[in-house]
Structure 1
Amino acid sequence: MASTAQVTAAQPSSSQKKLDEVTALLAKLTVDLKETNLLPHQRNSILEELKVHGRVVENADPLFTKDGIETLARYGFESTSSVTSREALRCLANALLLQPKTRQILVDLGYGDKAAERLKNDNRDDEFLISRILFLMTYDTNLDYEKLVADHQLAESINQAIARHSKRYSKSSRRASQTQPMDTMALSEILKLMFNITHFYPDLADQFSKSIPHIFKILFRSKIPNPPLQPPIKYLVNALLNLDLEDKKQSHFGLNAVFPKFDQKCNAEHLINILDNAIVAYPEGELDQAAAPVLTLIRRVYEIAPDSVKKYMEWLLLPTDDERNRPLGKSDTLSARLLRLSTSALTPNLRGSISSMMFELSGKDAAKFVHNVGYGFASGFLLSHNIAVPESAMEAFSTNAKGEEGEDSSKRVNPITGQRLDAEPEDTGPKMTQEEKEREAERLFVLFERLKKTGVVNVKNPVEQAVEEGRFEELDDD
């Protein structure tokens, strides 16, 4: 009787079994390409098995060779059966995702052109699969996308696909009507492809300008999900980043695409709502990457916005006078959350972008910037950008509530914290001794001298000013 060890040794391992199965299945397909000896359901069944095996790289090596990729590509792009073709394309897309070397193999076999032609089909499954394959081939290959645009109308195919998607979005309900999961997946893939083409080939960006109104339409009429930056929202935002929103070449829809006549502020407001929801929904570490594109797009929209939209965006994003009952950044408003993020150690990418946006919302004026957010939040940005702060910016200033008439204009505001002086808590602690006052004065004197030497802030040391004005008396040692 054979021992257990001998029986185990005689059986192939699961890894070897998988490798043998993949090899055998590919061999059957190769023979079928020459002799057409398989029935349609047999062919599809083999491709489906290969798709399952190909989801994990280990022991699926034959799929990632030149012969394996060519076999899958011939079924994917040349089969007369749509079912067979799509099963093969699914196998191919998995291979390109898991093994980067296969992307150049597919290009060398000449299937880049065929993929661009296939994208002309008005079919969600084809759109999803072909877009993903073309998207993956933007990495690690020498595929010429300029040639695909010129010779195979790739940009026009993408524009038409996005236009078809936009028709599904209801005008009244601001939600997708009759949207299936495959619709969302196909839209996400086509947007990812557009982003990569415009990123790696910026000269081609103008070819996609006609999609700008359709992308904004889908974005505006999409209900903000929770969390908000799920597909396709984040891909809609990303796709707009590289496009000519200002229409500098005046060849398409002009600024009406971004600021439509029926409501010029609607797109800007919707983007700010997405940002507001994102800040609440994501932890800071995750938010740093997720929200950066939204913030960048908001800044781009503000830059080209008409004055009325700019004022509205400033009202939504900058602190209101009502917030000055407390130090700025302490309330639960969008502006307060943004200010807190601008100093958070967990948001290195957002920190600079938020401060830059606040500076832009302040007309790129240092004094107005300090007025809007307080010197405590403004100082780091101004120092790092070597922007001088006018002496007047460090004085307490008066402010009125936005849009309210008759508000007491004499209310003074602390320039450091942004809080109204009459709302600051009274100091109920023990009074400083004369010795403590002298030490504090000496410390402040040193700090002001250091600040003056930086050349960034144009302020006069208060001790120096007191001496000049005759308000300083030097006492004898006794």
Structure 2
Amino acid sequence: MSPAKLEAVTSIVSRLSDDLQYGTLQPEKRDTLLEELKIYGRDPSFADPIFTKDGIKTLSRHAFDSSSDTTAQNALRVLCNALLLKPETRQSFVSTGYALKACRRLQNNNPDDEFLVSRLLLLSTYGTNIDMPKLVEAEQLANTLANNLARHAERLSSESTSKANANPMLDMALVETLKLFFNATQYAPDNISSFEPAIPHITTILCSLSLPSQQTKTPLDPPFGLLINALMNLKFSSSTAKDAVYPPSSPFSVADRLIQLLVLSMKAYSSADLEQIVSPLVCVLSAVHEDAPAPVRKSIRDALLPTESDREDVLGKTDTLPSRLLRNWTNPEAPELGKAISHLYFDMSDKDPSTFVKNVGYGYASGFLFQKGINIDPHTIKNSEEAEGSDGVREIRRPVNPITGQFLDTEKPVEMPEMTDEEKEREAERLFVLFERLKKTGIIDVQNPVEQAMREGQFEELSDDE
């Protein structure tokens, strides 16, 4: 079968190539050959002619120069499969120059074309020298993607949409469009403003879809995770963006939807999955908070800052959303998520170190502040009614341990056996050595408490027999 397969593939690619030059094939026969080639191409073994530069060019010409939609789509299916299975073919396609025509075909308002061409362009962004800014500027790719998303937003927000009669290709096309949208914003960062018209459509889709169930194990499966990614690189500071993210008729809708997804995600995903899947959600929520009007900022803080019930114990010990976020602050399996969470909480504290420590405790805040080069002594921060009425901190009416964030009146005394004299002496020696090492690093300038105690006569010299 293998030599026979190679012979068949070679013959089909040759006939398709000759057809481009001489017009030797009838439309039905051409489409039949492309269908056969698609089947052969599912397994790249003994199908080499498909994956050569000439093979990719032949398929590209049938995909974008044919007057028949059927022929074009059949060729596109073979092309997409080739670029998926053989990464080296991606540069071969980009080198043909047909990415420009692909952008034009993406304007057809046809779900099959949208699905196939979006996937083709998406695959072409990996490991190639594709000029994404040129596609955005010369072929208006950003506008095309926005228009395609607009149609999906209109469809999904319509109350008359019937799931029973829905075309599954429409949902598949939406998924590929969102993937391409994210990659386009990644590879054309200087053209990011060109993608702004898509924001209203992305937020409409985000808020129109039914939330995943409480029992789902993957709440950010497509399209939710892809909608979040599509917002990742965008700015929300312009009036157009603000009207979309904080619409006057329902200014809390987008922020509330993001928080709902965050609640589901923090419960559903394991530590290994949080890093890649949930980090973008936290980043987008941070961006939404940054440009939000005051009432929306307050609603986000009310949902994410530790509550009084959280402070009945050391922060991060309860099962609430704020506690789950704090526990992942230093999750070694999700360092980027930890960074995103710490930046979000610093922003919710109005970027004020004192407020930041009040909100999360010095234990969580210290590492972030050290990386930022901000020095602050937690014991200099008043810890009770002083926070009342502050915009950046939840109102606290009871004294709080500035290190742990726990209410002082709920702390339990630590029961430890009395140390022997030898243990006390060894502990004093360890402390002395530790502080001497810290002083030599230059990181801190602190009085060694053991040395100070010796000078103040708090140490007693014992005889050898004592």
Any idea what SS the aligned residue of 1:256 has?
A: helix
Determine the C-alpha separation between the residues in 2 that align with 1:385 and 1:26: 60
RMSD: 3.4
Report deviation, 1:194: 2.1
Cα distance change of structure 1 residues 443 and 37 upon mapping to structure 2, 3 Å threshold: same
Cα distance change of structure 1 residues 409 and 131 upon mapping to structure 2, 3 Å threshold: closer
Report deviation, 1:89: 0.6
Residue 237 (structure 1) aligns with = 228
Determine the C-alpha separation between the residues in 2 that align with 1:389 and 1:457: 12
Structure 2 residue 348 is the aligned partner of structure 1 residue 357 = no
One-letter identity of the residue aligned with 2:179: K
Contact 1:399–1:413 under 8 Å retained in 2: no
Determine the C-alpha separation between the residues in 2 that align with 1:78 and 1:410: 72
Structure 2 residue 409 is the aligned partner of structure 1 residue 418 = no
Residue 392 (structure 2) aligns with = none
Report deviation, 1:229: 1.6
Structure 2 residue 338 is the aligned partner of structure 1 residue 347 = no
Residue 358 (structure 2) aligns with = 371
Residue 135 (structure 1) aligns with = 122
Identity %: 47
Any idea what SS the aligned residue of 2:157 has?
A: coil
| Matches for 1:59-208 after TM superposition, within 5 Å | 59-170=46-157, 179-208=166-195
One-letter identity of the residue aligned with 1:239: A
| TM-score, normalised relative to structure 2 | 0.86
Determine the C-alpha separation between the residues in 2 that align with 1:178 and 1:462: 76
Determine the C-alpha separation between the residues in 1 that align with 2:321 and 2:281: 14
Report deviation, 1:164: 0.6
Contact 2:453–2:459 under 8 Å retained in 1: no
Structure 2 residue 293 is the aligned partner of structure 1 residue 293 = no
Any idea what SS the aligned residue of 2:309 has?
A: helix
Determine the C-alpha separation between the residues in 2 that align with 1:467 and 1:306: 57
Say which is worse superposed, 457-466 or 288-297, in terms of deviation.
457-466
Per-residue CA deviation, residues 329-355 of structure 1 (Å, 9 max, x unaligned), is: 111111111111112221122122222
Report deviation, 1:445: 6.4
Contact 2:103–2:141 under 8 Å retained in 1: yes
Residue 266 (structure 2) aligns with = 279
Contact 1:264–1:309 under 8 Å retained in 2: yes
Determine the C-alpha separation between the residues in 1 that align with 2:348 and 2:4: 64
Q: 2:44 aligns with which of 26, 33, 57?
A: 57
Structure 2 residue 384 is the aligned partner of structure 1 residue 398 = yes
Contact 2:153–2:204 under 8 Å retained in 1: yes
One-letter identity of the residue aligned with 1:398: S
Report deviation, 1:238: 1.4
Contact 1:184–1:231 under 8 Å retained in 2: no
Per-residue CA deviation, residues 423-448 of structure 1 (Å, 9 max, x unaligned), is: 22244554445665565566556656
Determine the C-alpha separation between the residues in 2 that align with 1:167 and 1:400: 49
Report deviation, 1:177: 9.3
Determine the C-alpha separation between the residues in 2 that align with 1:446 and 1:364: 36
Cα distance change of structure 1 residues 462 and 313 upon mapping to structure 2, 3 Å threshold: farther
Can you give the 5+ residue segments of structure 2 that lack an aligned partner in the other structure?
Answer: 390-394
Cα distance change of structure 1 residues 429 and 112 upon mapping to structure 2, 3 Å threshold: closer
Determine the C-alpha separation between the residues in 2 that align with 1:350 and 1:379: 17
Cα distance change of structure 1 residues 456 and 113 upon mapping to structure 2, 3 Å threshold: same
Residue 257 (structure 2) aligns with = 270
Per-residue CA deviation, residues 398-439 of structure 1 (Å, 9 max, x unaligned), is: 269999xxxx97733222222222222244554445665565
One-letter identity of the residue aligned with 1:298: L
Any idea what SS the aligned residue of 1:332 has?
A: coil
One-letter identity of the residue aligned with 1:82: D
Any idea what SS the aligned residue of 2:282 has?
A: helix
Per-residue CA deviation, residues 17-43 of structure 1 (Å, 9 max, x unaligned), is: 322221122233334445555454433
Any idea what SS the aligned residue of 1:18 has?
A: helix
Report deviation, 1:126: 0.5
Any idea what SS the aligned residue of 2:122 has?
A: helix
Report deviation, 1:102: 2.7
Determine the C-alpha separation between the residues in 2 that align with 1:381 and 1:454: 20
Any idea what SS the aligned residue of 2:379 has?
A: helix
Contact 1:388–1:458 under 8 Å retained in 2: no
One-letter identity of the residue aligned with 1:256: D
Residue 336 (structure 1) aligns with = 323
Report deviation, 1:142: 4.1
Determine the C-alpha separation between the residues in 2 that align with 1:452 and 1:301: 43
Report deviation, 1:303: 1.5
One-letter identity of the residue aligned with 2:384: S
One-letter identity of the residue aligned with 2:201: H
Cα distance change of structure 1 residues 23 and 441 upon mapping to structure 2, 3 Å threshold: same
One-letter identity of the residue aligned with 1:167: E
Determine the C-alpha separation between the residues in 1 that align with 2:396 and 2:279: 37
Say which is worse superposed, 384-393 or 315-324, in terms of deviation.
384-393
One-letter identity of the residue aligned with 1:292: S
One-letter identity of the residue aligned with 1:238: N
Determine the C-alpha separation between the residues in 2 that align with 1:399 and 1:138: 55
Determine the C-alpha separation between the residues in 1 that align with 2:385 and 2:441: 30
| TM-score, normalised relative to structure 1 | 0.84
Determine the C-alpha separation between the residues in 1 that align with 2:95 and 2:258: 42
Structure 2 residue 293 is the aligned partner of structure 1 residue 302 = no
Can you give the 5+ residue segments of structure 1 that lack an aligned partner in the other structure?
Answer: 1-13
Contact 1:389–1:457 under 8 Å retained in 2: no
Say which is worse superposed, 202-211 or 75-84, in terms of deviation.
75-84
Cα distance change of structure 1 residues 174 and 37 upon mapping to structure 2, 3 Å threshold: closer
Cα distance change of structure 1 residues 173 and 399 upon mapping to structure 2, 3 Å threshold: farther
Determine the C-alpha separation between the residues in 1 that align with 2:3 and 2:258: 53
Contact 1:47–1:91 under 8 Å retained in 2: yes
One-letter identity of the residue aligned with 1:336: S
Contact 1:134–1:193 under 8 Å retained in 2: yes
Per-residue CA deviation, residues 130-156 of structure 1 (Å, 9 max, x unaligned), is: 112222233444444444344433332
